[in-house]
């Protein structure tokens, strides 16, 4: 009986150690990784109507330029958590959807700085990380 208890205690301690390692890795991932927030059309329209200030990136998720730019957005969001990035997927929407909502002509992907519900700066096209960071810092 004594051997059984020792063996059982050893197995529980190994299981506990493995559990602690996995829990630590999960917490590390949650703390160090951040990503942009995808907005539905309704939530995007609500943010404009509420005159919110935010960073918006609009683009078609099936476009290759947008796919590579999404990695830049995730990198920026991970390194700069104070500036939340919102993304609107224009796939399947009419070509003038954002033109109507933001009152500006655009191409996708396009980055907008929106203050109090109005576009104060825009940059059409995909950017590399440092250009993206500089654009946001210069216009916030």
DSSP bridge partners of 111: 57, 123
Residue 116 or residue 7, greater confidence: 116
Residue 32 or residue 11, greater confidence: 11
Can you tell me the distance from the alpha carbon of 10 to that of 8, in angstroms, rounded to the nearest whole number?
A: 5
Give the model's pLDDT for residue 5. 74
Give the model's pLDDT for residue 33. 65
pTM given for the model: 0.74
Give the model's pLDDT for residue 6. 73
> What is the DSSP secondary structure assignment for residue 40, as one 8-state letter?
P
**Shortest CA distance to 35 belongs to which of 82, 69, 96, 85?**
85
Q: In the structure encoding, which two tokens stand for residue 87, read together?
A: 């993304």
Give the model's pLDDT for residue 24. 80
């Amino acid at each position: 009986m004594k051997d059984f208890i020792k063996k059982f205690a050893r197995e529980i301690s190994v299981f506990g150690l493995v559990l602690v390692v996995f829990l630590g890795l999960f917490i590390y991932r949650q703390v160090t990784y951040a990503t942009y927030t995808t907005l539905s059309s309704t939530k995007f329209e609500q943010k404009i109507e509420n005159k919110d200030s935010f960073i918006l990136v609009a683009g078609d998720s099936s476009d290759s330029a947008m796919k590579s730019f999404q990695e830049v957005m995730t990198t920026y969001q991970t390194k700069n958590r104070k500036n939340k990035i919102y993304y609107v997927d224009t796939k399947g929407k009419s070509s003038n959807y954002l033109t109507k909502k933001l009152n500006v002509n655009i191409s996708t992907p396009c980055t907008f700085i929106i203050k109090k519900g109005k576009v104060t700066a825009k940059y059409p096209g995909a950017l590399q990380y440092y250009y993206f960071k500089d654009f946001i810092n210069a216009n916030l």
